[in-house]
Amino acid sequence: MAITFEQVNFSYGAGTTLAQSVLHDITVDMPTGKVTAIVGQTGSGKSTLIQHINGLLKPTSGQIRIDDFELTASTKEKELVNLRQKVGIVFQFPENQLFANTVLEDVMYAPLNFGETKEAAKSDAARALKRVGVSEDLWGKSPFELSGGQMRRVAMAGTLASNPSVVVMDEPAAGLDPKGQAELLSIVLELKNLGKTIIFISHQMDHVVAVADQVVVMNEGRVVAKETPRQLFNRELSWFQTMKLDLPKAGQLAEKLKENGVVLSRRPLDLTELAELINQEIGHE
């Protein structure tokens, strides 16, 4: 499912004296079957933006097209049921939303809510739990007995159980240890391989490099760039400073080398590329 924002503006508390205008003239598309990363400093509007994709928030003006569905200020709540089944959002720290007595029941909640039989919900939940690597011996346990990383996976399975074609993840790796983060990134790539459209918010540029086909950069409620990681991370250093964005680790190291007079032919995206470029530079290709 392709997603297109057209001249979207959004204010919290629109029409009240406390109205706060947060998104300004957003026009951007997120293609089917691709991973779109959204980055930008804190408060730039990333979480606000993504909540428009399943109609949790509605634009104050402009429209969002999700396949053939059009979301505008006047879209009614009852028109959103189908959309919510197609667009799954994994919120930040989703484990805070776990509630059921067992892992399996928690993951079955959404499919049951969308009207499936108990049997069908169970098989959807089992598929989703396997997909995120939660082993079967944990399914009967209370979600609150699990480790942080396991809880995160169960919460993700809860979103995946209704088999959404669009999966939106708001900082899914936040707070996980390095192993948990690496596993999370491979889950993202597996979901992409299943043909899902993925929206991935992150503050970690190495994660963006690892999974993104395109990167949308937000600043003060506007989209200021939309390009491939290669194009983005080749921009001038001063641009990243203005946007308060980091470079990927390899890019940071390359900048350190530059300070010492070692200038590489381009800015590397990861450590493998950094090593290749250094080898070229010292003539050991």
Ligand X SMILES: Nc1ncnc2c1ncn2[C@@H]1O[C@H](COP(=O)(O)OP(=O)(O)OP(=O)(O)O)[C@@H](O)[C@H]1O
Catalytic machinery residues: 171
219 is written with which tokens?
């600043």
Backbone angles phi, psi at 169, to 5 degrees: -125, 120
- The amino acid at residue 88 is G
Q: How far apart, in whole angstroms, are the C-alpha atoms of residue 67 and residue 105?
A: 31
Tell which one of 27, 43, 96, 101 touches ligand X (CB under 6 A). 43
Residue 57 is which amino acid? L
Reading the block at residue 119, the tokens are 């049997």
Q: Does residue 207 touch ligand X according to CB under 6 A?
A: no
Examine residue 9 and tell whether it contacts Mg ion (CB under 5 A).
no
Range 32-61, binding Mg ion (CB under 5 A): 47
Q: Which is nearer to ligand X, 85 or 202 (CB)?
A: 202
Determine contact, residues 167/137, Cβ cutoff 8 Å: no
Check residue 114 for interaction with ligand X (CB under 6 A). no
Taking CB atoms, the residue at the shortest distance from Mg ion is: 47
Which amino acid would we find at residue 235? Answer: R
- Contact assessment for residue 131 and residue 160, using Cβ atoms and an 8 Å cutoff: yes
- Give the range of 43-51, 93-101, 111-119, 204-212 binding ligand X by CB under 6 A: 43-51
Site for ligand X in 213-242 (CB under 6 A): none
32's contact among Mg ion, ligand X, none, with CB below 5 to 8 A by partner kind, is: none
Q: Which of 26, 36, 39, 45 binds ligand X (CB under 6 A)?
A: 45
Interaction between residue 204 and ligand X (CB under 6 A): no
Q: How far is the CB of 110 from ligand X (least distance, A)?
A: 23
What are the residues whose beta carbons fall under 8 Å from the beta carbon of 88, sequence distance 6 or more? 54, 159, 160, 162, 164, 166, 167, 168
Query: Is position 19 an interface residue for ligand X (rule: CB under 6 A)?
Result: no
How is residue 176 annotated by DSSP? -
Establish if 17 lies at the interface with ligand X (CB under 6 A): no
Q: How far apart are the first and last CA of the chain?
A: 43
Query: How big is the site for ligand X, counted in residues (CB under 6 A)?
Result: 11
Nearest to 174 by CA among 213, 201, 143, 138: 201
- Using CB under 6 A, which of the segments 44-52, 97-105, 138-146, 191-199 binds ligand X? 44-52
CB of 20 to Mg ion, least distance (A): 15
Least Cβ distance, residue 258 to Mg ion (angstroms): 32
Smallest distance, ligand X to C-beta of residue 24, A? 11
Cα separation, 22 vs 5, in Å, equals 15
- Angle among Cα 29, 32, 38 to the nearest 5 degrees reads 50
Q: Is the CB of 230 or the CB of 244 nearer to Mg ion?
A: 244
Query: 199 forms bridges with which residues in the sheet?
Result: 36, 168
Task: Please identify which residue in 16, 17, 42, 74 interacts with ligand X, judged by CB under 6 A.
Answer: 42
* 165 φ/ψ angles, rounded to the nearest 5 degrees: -85, -20
197 binds, among Mg ion, ligand X, none (CB under 5 to 8 A by kind): none
Q: Which residues bind Mg ion (CB under 5 A)?
A: 47
Q: Which residues bind ligand X (CB under 6 A)?
A: 12, 20, 22, 40, 42-48
